[in-house]
Amino acid sequence: MAHAIQTRSKLPLTAAGMTEPPAPGEFIEAAPGVLWMRFPLPFQLDHVNVYLIEDGDGFALLDTGIGNDATKEIWESAFANALKGIRLTRLIVSHHHPDHMGLAGWMCEKFDIPVHMTLAEFLTGKYLCSGPYADKGHFYSDFYRLHGTTEDQAEAVSGRGLAYLKIVTGLPDSFNSLDPARGLVLGGRRFEVLTGGGHSVDQAMLYCREEKLFLACDQIIERISPNVSVHAMEPNADPLGTFIRSLTDIKGVVAEDALTLSGHRLPIAAPHKRADELIEHHHQRCDQVMEIVGAGTKTAAEITPVLFRRELDAHQFSFAFSEALAHLNLLVEQGRLTWEEENGVQRVRAA
Ligand SMILES: [Zn+2]
């Protein structure tokens, strides 16, 4: 296809050799016609990967980076240099988290392109962009107090509803649904659409069976375990159970040696092995929680620092707390723990 970037028609589809990420504003052709770019993030996890996938005479963009000025500047510079002359055909957003969806509104308007998302991710993104809790921080802080945090920890999260709005640029009012029943054709490739919960509500992944090429987004990541969290919006959710089922489902579809490109870190050569490691990690965490609870009772806030032994700032504490709670909700779902309430605080006890 004729476009400004000379892509190679054949590349060995392997993660070997991709041991260094692309520099900001540059790309690495990770698979034929699949350009891997990386953007900085202002968090401890300091980067996010996005991909441009050849789509006729242009490229479909998978994820945008976070919605801040630094990311916009890198995009502007990339479009003036490494990506000069290319046309974006559409935006695919894997999930509504700000590091992936942050510049969706900006991109769709700037390039007049449609967005493709799963229905659940689109509606969740739209919902959060409407600022539902902007004027009632106690919605978050009450949830923390219920699980035994200190007043300081509870207060630290009361601005969370506003924090999201500061690092996203909204979504268009209409969208195209990413639907596993329909798949997605990009250029000469037919992708199967896989969806899975746990890390987000219904994250989209793309798999090209003929080429054994898997865009796993944040569901399977090299070396780090994707955050799995219970939030105030759905306090009794079981995202960890959902996440483990999703990893098992992925193994049923994706080849064990598929080249796997993720939303963070480096490409993966053996996605089944990585999925098994993630499942095993969470099983070990569940056993650890059972040990911490022992014969007594514990709150989620008491379990968090024992489960996550490193020093946690307020932002990291909220992730760790929500992930500890995900383990508690799964153990309650499995009948290994039960909830009891004491003085307005929820505690778990071995069943
Ligand atoms: Zn992410």
- The whole-number pLDDT of residue 2 equals 58
C-alpha 127 – ligand 1 centre gap (Å): 19
- The whole-number pLDDT of residue 31 equals 94
C-alpha 98 – ligand 1 centre gap (Å): 8
Of 5 and 286, the one with more pLDDT: 286
Whats the size of the chain, residue-wise?
A: 351
Please provide the average confidence, as pLDDT, over all residues in the chain: 93
| Least-confidence region, from 7-16, 48-57, 86-95, 234-243 | 7-16
The helix (run of H) or strand (run of E) holding residue 204 is: strand 203-208
Question: What does the pLDDT average to over 208-233?
Answer: 95
C-alpha 234 – ligand 1 centre gap (Å): 20
Q: pLDDT of 125-142, one tens digit each?
A: 999 998 876 666 677 889
Q: In what order do the strands lie in the sheet with 28-31?
A: 28-31, 34-40, 47-55, 58-62, 88-92, 115-117, 176-177
Of 160 and 62, the one with more pLDDT: 62
Q: What's the CA angle centered on 229, arms 228 and 230, to 5 degrees?
A: 145
C-alpha 192 – ligand 1 centre gap (Å): 21
DSSP output for 85-145: T--EEEEE-S-SSHHHHTTHHHHHHHHT--EEE-HHHHHHHHHHHT-TTTT-THHHHHHHH
The answer to whether the CB of 176 falls within 8 A of the CB of 116 is yes
Q: Which residues contact 181 (CB under 8 A, 6 or more apart)?
A: none
Residue identified by tokens 């942050």 is 102
- The whole-number pLDDT of residue 62 equals 98
CATH class of domain segment(s) 28-287: alpha beta
Residue 325 has pLDDT above 80, yes or no: yes
C-alpha 20 – ligand 1 centre gap (Å): 19
- The whole-number pLDDT of residue 160 equals 66
- The whole-number pLDDT of residue 9 equals 63
- Separation between Cα atoms, residue 2 and residue 5, nearest integer Å: 8
The answer to whether the CB of 164 falls within 8 A of the CB of 133 is no
CA nearest neighbour of 100 among 213, 206, 218, 216: 218
- The whole-number pLDDT of residue 178 equals 98
CA nearest neighbour of 298 among 101, 237, 306, 186: 306
Number of C-beta neighbours around residue 104 at 10 A: 28
Question: What does the pLDDT average to over 147-168?
Answer: 84
* Burial of 325: CB neighbours in 10 Å, binned 0-12, 13-18, 19+: buried
- Strands 28-31 and 34-40 turn out to be antiparallel
- The whole-number pLDDT of residue 13 equals 67
C-alpha 85 – ligand 1 centre gap (Å): 28
CA neighbours closer than 13 Å in the CB half-sphere of residue 156: 15
Where exactly are the structural domains of the chain? 28-287
CA nearest neighbour of 269 among 21, 14, 10, 12: 14
C-alpha 340 – ligand 1 centre gap (Å): 34
C-alpha 101 – ligand 1 centre gap (Å): 9
The residues whose Cβ lies within 5 A of ligand 1, an ion, are: 99, 218, 263
C-alpha 220 – ligand 1 centre gap (Å): 11
C-alpha 291 – ligand 1 centre gap (Å): 30
340 in helix, strand or coil?
strand
- The whole-number pLDDT of residue 135 equals 65
Question: What does the pLDDT average to over 94-120?
Answer: 98
- The whole-number pLDDT of residue 11 equals 62
Residue 1 has pLDDT above 60, yes or no: no
| Least-confidence region, from 188-202, 237-251, 299-313 | 299-313
- The whole-number pLDDT of residue 147 equals 96
338 in helix, strand or coil?
strand
